[in-house]
Amino acid sequence: MKALLRILMLCGAIAIIGFMFFNTPKENEPLEGPNTNSNIIPQTKLKQEAAVGAMTRPQTGISTLIGKDTQTVLEQYGEPARKEPSSFGYQWWVYNDDVSTFFMVGVEKNVVKQVYIAGQNIDAFPFKVGQKRDEIYRMTIIDYEVAATVGDNIFIFSMSEEDMQTRLLVKFDGLYAQLYIDRETSELQGIRYTDSETLVLHQPYEMSYQGELVRRTPPSSFLQQEIDVASAKQLDDLLNVTRVHHDLPPLEMDNSLEEVARKHSEDMKVQNFLAHESPTYGDLKKRLQANNIEYSDANENLATAYFDAIEAMHGWTNSPEHRKVLLNDRFTRVGSGAFVDYYTQIYLEPASSQKMDSKEKDSEGQTNEEPVSEDSIEKTDQLSP
């Protein structure tokens, strides 16, 4: 009898240790964006080549909205799902009714300054989401250096080898296209059309300039809070667009996770660190426990030095370790948080009890009152570690 008791106690101890091990959130290295090391270099003399190498501006497709008034956008696409501020003076109009038609329009003083397209069914002529990089190179004039002018000021953007593979800049007459390419699939992930002034404000690449540098007006602290909320929502949207493009189900936004993610982004900025473990609040496991969030599996992606949510999501997608996390098919919930240029996204597989409660609520809400089958319960249990 004593021997049996010892065996049971030993098994219990092993089970507790196993639970603690498997229930510890995984971690990967935080990601620092290209803006960390991008140089802004004033020059006394630059050769102006504004017209050299420029492609003919598209006459069809959504890029024709650039420079048009907002009434044109409303007539063609209706009211957006959300209107959100940005750090650069323009307002984002977000159209997220369907992943296949997802796009965002940047508007300033009722004029369209840029358009970002991630939906495969949006006419982004001459490009198309899902298009192969080799095809883009065959049909497009590509150069390591691209010139832009704002008034009498000249700006030269220089692309790195990494940019040439995953973040191309293409010049049209009075229009620029940033092409976000998936490194693993070599497919076009998203397209950002922008005018020259907005491109210079973003400073997305190393830049030399002659004349007066175009600068943005820093937002007030109150406006920055609204921008941070907007960036978090955009991260959620962009994550689900990416997952659906890779034949994975979208994740459900979780308000509790959003708050944990927001606090961690703020904590990193205020305390000037970039890590999963906070000097004050601990690692992800401690932060989730402090908010009474139960889970079977959890992970988070971190990033900084990206000028907006689009760039941050593209950076995560092209980083192998971060990509594995955001494309993990076990996760069903997500929470995103932003604070200035610090980004946090937490992914969660709920504890088995939470998943069972959700299934019971769904079954109660069905008009035909069909019971939850034993097979579905067994499949849910199999997800537990």
Whether the Cβ atoms of residue 219 and residue 79 lie closer than 8 Å to each other: no
Q: State the pLDDT at residue 148.
A: 95
In three-state secondary structure terms, 32 is strand
DSSP label at residue 187: B
Longest Cα separation, the chain: 92
What pLDDT, on a 0 to 100 scale, did the predictor assign at position 47? 61
Residue 361: pLDDT over 70: no
Determine contact, residues 257/354, Cβ cutoff 8 Å.
Answer: no
Tell me the average pLDDT across 329-334.
98
Judged against a pLDDT cut of 80, whether residue 221 lies above it is answered with yes
pLDDT value for 256: 97
Cβ atoms of residues 280 and 267 within 8 Å: yes
The pLDDT value given to residue 36? 59
Q: What pLDDT does 3 receive? A: 52
50-98 pLDDT, tens digit per residue, is 445 689 999 999 999 999 999 999 999 999 999 999 999 999 999 999 9
Which pLDDT score, from 0 to 100, does residue 54 have?
Answer: 84
What is the residue-averaged pLDDT of the chain? 87
How do the residues of the chain divide into helix, strand and coil, expressed in percent and rounded to 5? 40, 25, 35
Peptide bond preceding 25: is omega within 30 degrees of 0, i.e. cis? no
pLDDT average, residue stretch 331-356? 90
Predicted local confidence at residue 354, as pLDDT: 61
The arithmetic mean of pLDDT across residues 253-282, rounded, is 97
pTM attached to this predicted model: 0.85
Is it the case that residue 16 has pLDDT exceeding 50?
A: no
First-last CA distance in the chain? 31
pLDDT on residue 6: 53
Q: Which residues contact 344 (CB under 8 A, 6 or more apart)?
A: 261, 262, 264, 265, 268, 300, 301, 302, 336, 337, 338
> Is the separation of the CB atoms in 40 and 213 below 8 Å?
yes
| pLDDT at residue 7 in the model | 46
Distance, in Å, from the CA atom of 198 to the CA atom of 219, rounded to the nearest integer, reads: 16
Say if residues 139 and 127 touch (Cβ distance below 8 Å): no
DSSP 79-128: S-SEEEE-TTS-EEEEE-S-GGG-EEEEEETTEEEEEEE--TTS--TT--
Percent of the chain with pLDDT over 70: 81
| Higher-pLDDT residue of 43, 123 | 123
User: Would you state the structure tokens that stand for residue 227, as one six-digit string?
Assistant: 């921008």
Percent of the chain with pLDDT over 90: 76
Residue 357 binned pLDDT confidence (cut-offs 50, 70, 90): low
- Summarize the confidence of residues 355-365 as an average pLDDT: 51
Q: Mean pLDDT, to the nearest integer, of 299-307?
A: 97
The 10s digit of each residue's pLDDT in 124-138 is 999 999 999 999 999
Supply the pLDDT for residue 25: 67
- Predicted confidence (pLDDT) per residue in 105-127, tens digit: 999 999 999 999 999 999 999 99
